[in-house]
Structure 1
Amino acid sequence: MDEDLRERLRTAAASHRPDRARMLARIERGMAEEPPARPARAPRAPMPWLRVAGATAAVCGVLTAGAFAVTSAGREEPAGGQRVAAEPASPTLAPPSPGRGGALPAGKGPLWSDGSLNPNSNDYWAQSEVTVKTDRPLSALTVELRIALNGGVATTGSWRSLPEQDFAVSAREEDGFLVYRWTLKPGRSVPTGTHTFAGQYNHAEGTRDAGRDDYTARARAAAGPVSVGGDFSATR
């Protein structure tokens, strides 16, 4: 290369000034560009132990729901109407039982009655029931159940099949008897049909003598006052 060419190259290099602003602009444009998207990966299949755990959780959920349904279905209120408990009753309340012979003995006028011991009574607890049947509405009614205070008798509660708010209820000891009394409130009425009044009580272990127990039912119908009464079998 001749000396003249070398001199021209040196002169050109010495006179060159880089465009700094253009270089910075190119760098900024490059940084602003988004990197190419990566292809999506296919989801991994769950590990075998995860599948087993999921199946186990599902089975447990089904069993739990089934157990809850069975438990809920088993919680039934005892039949035989509502209870008015002076104290919590010990055993499960039993439904009213039919009178002796399966029918109500005839009473005076529109009123019939029967006294019976519920078959679910046992060696420690009993339920005495008075069943009253009327063929016309009653404007007044008082049912009295008397349980002789023998064999450690102590009240555990009472109930009646008619609405609770229609009656004033009491249970107290009077003249050697535990007396349950249901009195229809003024302005209320008893509809036509069969109605049950029951007294519950604990007693000493064994068979209790019910020979002195009795009941009365006094009522008023359109034709005037009427009353019925009776007793119970001598033993449970």
Structure 2
Amino acid sequence: MDDKLRERLRTAAEAHRPDRERMLARVERGMAEGPSARTPPGPLPWLRVVGATAAVCGVLAVGAYAVTSAGGGQTRGGQVAASPVPSASTPAPAGSGRVPELRTEDGPLWADGAVDPHSNAYWAQSNVTLRTTQPLSSLTVELRIAQTGGVDTTGSWRSLPERDFTVSAQEKGGYLVYRWTLKPGRTVPVGTHMFAGQYNHAEGDRSADGDYFTANAARSTGQRVSVGDDFTSDH
């Protein structure tokens, strides 16, 4: 029920004033006339008048209750329904989603992820190591650092030539996401290669349990391979 309708009901109820003189005149007239010959046996006239008066009062009381209750809910079938209380919900913290199922080896490609041992209480580096036994005609490496507090990029690097890759770093879905994409026409040679993302973080011993990376590549034959790993403490 909107505010305008509640105000109209309240105004109507407050403006109503019983016509006492008219009601008293009806009572006196009923007592003077007495029971009619055509009136079936029943309560005395004054009882009927009192009952009618009580009924009128009851109607007014119900009207006042309806106006008073209008602000607390809507009426359904004569009953006042209380407004529902919204259930509380706690949003999931950023970067706390499950790490997807990953495999560290697929065909000629192998991968590993580890936090660099030179990381400290304010800064860290996450290393992605890839080893391929065949040349790759395409490669996209994506490193995701969970936003555990104060995580902010300070740079990145790779062991392969810088001119061969398009590099980006951005906040996305509760993660700091680094992405290295091999440019068209370039090739990743056979060997072991490293990709590293560097970042500040909140003071303290940061847990990397929510961090992970993926690497999607294609061999010269066109067959696609995909690997990935997390950064749990057992590395």
Shift of 1:124: 0.4
Tell me, in whole angstroms, the C-alpha distance in 1 between the residues paired with 2:208 and 2:149: 10
2:132 maps to which of 134, 142, 146: 134
2-side partners of 1:106 and 1:198: how far apart?
A: 17
Write the deviation string for residues 159-217 of structure 1: whole angstroms up to 9, x where unpaired: 00000000000000010000000000000000000000000000111111211100000
Pick aligned residue for 2:116 from 95, 101, 118: 118
Spell out the pairing of 1:13-162 with structure 2 (5 A cutoff): 107-162=105-160
Identity percentage of aligned residues: 65
SS in 1 for 2:163: helix
Give me the TM-score of the superposition, normalised by structure 1: 0.54
- Give yes or no for the alignment of 1:229 onto 2:228: yes
CA-CA distance at 1:234 after TM superposition: 4.4
Q: 2:136 touches 2:188 (CA, 8 Å); kept in 1?
A: yes
Count of paired positions = 132
Could you tell me which of 181, 191, 194 is aligned with 1:193? 191
- 2:43 maps to which residue? none
Q: Check the 8 A contact 2:113/2:231 in 1, yes or no.
A: yes
Counterpart residue number, 2:3: none
Secondary structure of 1:133 counterpart: strand
Q: 1:215 touches 1:230 (CA, 8 Å); kept in 2? A: yes
Q: Structure 2-normalised TM-score?
A: 0.54
Change (3 A) 1:168 1:129: same
- Structure of larger gyration radius: 1
Structure 1: gaps of 5 or more residues: 1-104
Q: Does the 8 A contact of 2:104 with 2:229 survive in 1? A: no
Change (3 A) 1:166 1:231: same
- Indicate if the aligned counterparts of 1:211 and 1:235 stay in contact, CA closer than 8 A: no
Distance 2:145 2:234 in 1: 13
> Counterparts of 1:4-15 in structure 2 under 5 Å?
none
Where does structure 2 lack aligned partners over 5 or more consecutive residues? 1-102
Alignment of 1:210-225 (within 5 A): 210-223=208-221, 224-225=223-224
Distance in 1 of aligned mates of 2:104 and 2:110: 5
Asked whether the equivalents of residues 165 and 180 of structure 2 are also in contact (C-alpha less than 8 Å), the reply is yes
Q: CA offset at residue 151 of structure 1?
A: 2.2
Partner of 1:60: none
Among 203, 206, 223, the alignment partner of 1:205 is: 203
